Chains A and B, each alone.
Chain A
Amino acid sequence: SQQGEEDPQALSIQEGENATMNCSYKTSINNLQWYRQNSGRGLVHLILIRSNEREKHSGRLRVTLDTSKKSSSLLITASRAADTASYFCATVRYGNNRLAFGKGNQVVVIP
Chain B
Amino acid sequence: EPEVTQTPSHQVTQMGQEVILRCVPISNHLYFYWYRQILGQKVEFLVSFYNNEISEKSEIFDDQFSVERPDGSNFTLKIRSTKLEDSAMYFCASNQDGFNEQFFGPGTRLTVL
Interface residues of A (CB under 8 A from B): 30-31, 33, 35, 40-45, 48, 88, 90, 92, 96-104
Contacts and interface: CB of A to CB of B under 8 A. Distances in A.
Contacts of A104: 42
Residues of B in contact with A, size category: 20 to 34
A101 B42 CA distance: 7
Contacts of B91: 42-43
Interface in B49-103: 55-56, 58, 89, 91, 93, 95, 98-103
Nearest to B41: A103
Given A98-B33, A98-B58, A31 B45 contact: no
A86 B93 CA distance: 18
Which 3 pairs of residues, A with B, have the shortest CB-CB distance?
A97-B98, A101-B43, A45-B101
Contacts, number: 61
A48 B101 contact: yes
B56 A96 contact: yes
A101 B44 contact: yes
Q: Is the interface of B mostly helix, strand, loop or mixed?
A: strand
Nearest to B58: A98
A48 B99 CA distance: 10
B107 interface: yes
A45 B43 contact: no
B99 A92 contact: yes
B83 to A, nearest CB: 22
A43 B101 contact: no
